[in-house]
Amino acid sequence: MSDTVTIRLAKENMKFSAAHFTIFSASERERLHGHNFRVEVDIDARMLGNGMCFDYGIYKDRVVALCRELNEWTILPTRSMHLRIEEDGAHVFASFDGTRIPFLRSDVLLLPIENATLEEFAAWFLARLGEDRAVLHEHRIDAIEVRVFSGPGQSAGRRARFD
C-alpha cells in the first residue's frame, strides 16, 4: 500500500466574503460585486507511522486565518496589466480604461495578484500555505492543491509540488 495520503480540508468556516471585479481585457470588466467565497485544500503527505501523517489541525487553523485576512474587503489586484492603483491618503484610486474609480482606503485590500479571479485567489492561498518549506519538509508534505469557490459548482484550483 502507498505510504502517501491526501488530506482534504473543506470545513464550513473556510470561507470569506469579499467584493471584486474580474477584468477580461483592457476595456472589459465586471461591475463591482461580491461573493461568499469558500476554500478547500488537498494536502498530499507521507504517512509517518502510528497510522497517521502530520497533524492536519495545524493547516485547519492556517487556512481559516488566511480566509480571515481576505474577509469583508474590496479586493483589488496590484499586478493587473489593465488596472493602475494609486493610494492617496484616505482613498485608493483604481484607473481602468480611462476611468478613475475611487475607493475608501479603509475598505480596500490590495493583493499582489494579476486579477481578482478564483484562480488568482487560489494561487494566493497556495503561496501562503507553501511559503515555509522547512515546515512542509518537517510534515513530509509533497503537494498542496487549493480550490476557491465563488459559489456552489464554480471554482478554480491551483496545485504545487514541493520536492
Q: Encode 44-62 in three state secondary structure.
A: EEECCCCCCCCCCHHHHHH
Nearest residue (CB) to ligand LPXRUNBV, 108 versus 155: 155
User: Least distance to ligand LPXRUNBV from the beta carbon of 156, Å?
Assistant: 6
Q: CA 160, 70, 65: angle at the middle one, nearest 5? A: 70
Residue from 40, 70, 147, 150 binding ligand LPXRUNBV (CB under 6 A): 150
User: Least distance to ligand LPXRUNBV from the beta carbon of 81, Å?
Assistant: 15
Q: Is 155 in the site for ligand LPXRUNBV (CB under 6 A)?
A: no
For residues 90 and 147, give the distance between their C-alpha atoms in angstroms, rounded to a whole number: 34
Residue from 15, 22, 46, 127 binding ligand LPXRUNBV (CB under 6 A): 22
Q: Is 138 in the site for ligand LPXRUNBV (CB under 6 A)?
A: no
Cell of 105: 482606503
For residues 33 and 86, give the distance between their C-alpha atoms in angstroms, rounded to a whole number: 21
Q: Is 118 in the site for ligand LPXRUNBV (CB under 6 A)?
A: yes
The amino acid sitting at 47 is: M
Q: Is 36 in the site for ligand LPXRUNBV (CB under 6 A)?
A: no
Choose among 13, 17, 10: nearest CA to 36: 17
Residues that bind ligand LPXRUNBV (CB under 6 A): 22, 30, 35, 117-119, 150-151, 154
